[in-house]
Amino acid sequence: MAEQEGARVVIMLTECTDSEVHRSRIEGRTRSIPNWYELNWAHVQRSQITWQPPDRVDLTLDAIEPLETNLRRVESLLLDVGDTPVI
């Protein structure tokens, strides 16, 4: 669809490379999404076993980096895309 509309798809992968930080963030939050189960660390561990990243990733962001750093990296990528609409 993006190609038909002349837009470029930008794929950003987010991860948390520090497993202890990742675990503390999962265990320390409540999503409160209606009719959804809450994630726990066991869910995350099971998902990590089978999850495969996409073949083409334009930018990988690490959640242990400061938010400002990740925002600058996203902004830089989007500026590099130029005038091509991004979806």
> How far, in Å, are 9, 11, 21, 38, 54 from residue 85 at the CA level?
9, 14, 35, 35, 21
pTM above 0.85, yes or no: no
**Which amino acid is residue 60, in one-letter code?**
T
Predicted confidence (pLDDT) per residue in 20-56, tens digit:
999 999 998 999 999 998 999 999 999 999 999 999 9
Query: In terms of Cα–Cα distance, which of 74, 80, 43, 69 is closest to 59?
Result: 74
86 pLDDT more than 60: no
- Across the chain, mean pLDDT equals 90
